[in-house]
Structure 1
């Protein structure tokens, strides 16, 4: 549990327009769903935002994802004790949940600029609003942001709320406070010094100010039998206590968290120490002796290495180790645990992508390059540079068109009675496998899964709504009559039956790719011959009027864009550098 910054550098804050970060909102809802998949209703959850507009963006994304995943609706009903909520920092006061996710929303815009305008946080009392927002979690707090604390470059005149936000984000990111020694030596500090000297004189090893931020333990007694752990934490009413602004922070919350981490705590008051020192000292020693008499786990823990200054290299390694522990389920707040130790840390290795070999095992030879022996080298190059690892390819290197066989969505009941979210997920799967795909071909594929021979009015209406959801979700991109899967490369594919090699069902980008393949292998080619060879490359045996016009239109569009040229002799070719130089 604990505190974690989820850095989303690929997201963009829409400054000056919607004042939201839609991609960040999407990431938040994805994490919300992951939370309920993992914990169900056993851990309550809430989301907080820095402004009303980001709150609305998250609610809209939630509505969309619930349509796509209707089975999740049971977790968002308001009839539960501590139900799910999405609130902004002006309305979240008084609400607590086991887990809180905070969406900053503000951040780098499309031009890479980071404005210092963070709404209410910049105003007078902004630090109090920020404190309320960031202390709603009992066990875990996740911060979503497209920038890090170190990206905020502030001067001494910056609002206190903004400076507090910067330091908080830095701590959430690397668990290291920017200033290791936050409090100067004062008269109040002498009280802690006196207790420290008293205990060391009695033979105990004492560490001062263990942990971080507002949950630092003033004095920690090292267990003499197990030097790698602390026997007792001592809280004084010195600087650490006085800097807590409200009684709740001083006592209930701080003590609750520290005890939850396994600390045995003992409170010392300065007035008691100076007025009745002997009695206070006796009680302190008696408490330590009682703890020493208790049975403890018989294990050897390496000694704690105390370092007053952490280098940037160690800080970086520590952050990576914390991320590694989170993935393995280790509590994130180990830095405050009484069994804390500093060891040599190794960076976490990046996850390696797992390639699927099932489809590659099913590869079948084709005669695509047999018609054009000179294409083999070019097609092989395309295979290496453009084809995804899990793309099924022929021996000649040209990809065979793969039809989606399984959408992962159960097929049952009447099509028009299905949750539109299920239809949308099926459509997104088809586009992922077959994209770019013609709109009508997608409708045909989906209705075929439900055993329908034709698409009537109701089927078309459901499909339109489902595809719209997919586009809103960002997984599908629609360009005219064709649907593309997000970030997927366009690969030239050979059609040998289903679907047929009909040019009007093939996207302009895929036809353009075929034109490039022909020209890369044959150099300059007569336009009519180029059209025929492009058609044959897709698997068509005959090239007629509509197909000719379709390919011709793509070639002319490529000429207009300056990708290729048509010479005076009617030959079509790339605009090659050697010709420009001549």
Structure 2
């Protein structure tokens, strides 16, 4: 996906035709995208077919066997715009590109309603995107097999010598580019950076928003008289920000009381009230984190909101970090561990990945691998469904 409106430049270390056919759907999409960038819109008409497609008739099987016995790679049933070419001969120099389309007068030939549809329309559609076609007639093949094979071999050698298939539009575009490169003066292009919203809404994520608690008739926060108001405040704080680390919970409480810093007596009082709420079933506690009971199923990973300060990694609950790691790995399979850590760091709003962040996230990835939620190592990480 791209937000480019007028132009997009693709820099690649290989051509689309250099990528062999693969049962991996992602590889097929990458191959066709590179072919589109190089050859233009005509590529879009081609169908994506499974690499294990089979011939339609015994005649096609016989031709396929001969071609393969000569050492060629052949893909049965390649197609474009709803039509099929019986087999595509791969170019030896570019295993993902065809050198020649071979037609046999088999099942597809006999299924056409009229000779005009079969010969004129089909030839037009298939030749339009740049196919070079060679037709083998069944009568010739069975009456004089040796001569038919000789003509086929000559057609194949000629097609390979011509190079991989290239659409007419691409040939014109390539010629124009070469001519422009030779004659056009070099022009410096002025680029403008346009800020975009980096965070995308996802079902598993939500912005992190701090709670605002108003307390009236405030007793000093460290006293026993403040506990009734403190109980109500902690329910609101945890309800809005849970799972919340104990340090942040204490900070929100002192901010509600207008206290500049929290000493030992304030911390002990807040912790004691929170523990009482846990015993009473109003709050739940896991390690240093407090939350509302039964909210595990609604857990979302929370990214930093605009204008908010990013939370420290120790203030983010482990299950929240696990969720972000898993979902980001699922969005982009095959990332390296370093790339995944970078994505998570950007998600939580950390401008740099410190040693503490890296070590903790590496431990989180190891834990998810142990739980069979992630698979892989430093070179590749995949989410397991």
Q: If the length of structure 2 is used for normalisation, what is the TM-score?
A: 0.45
The TM-score, its normalising length taken from structure 1, stands at: 0.31
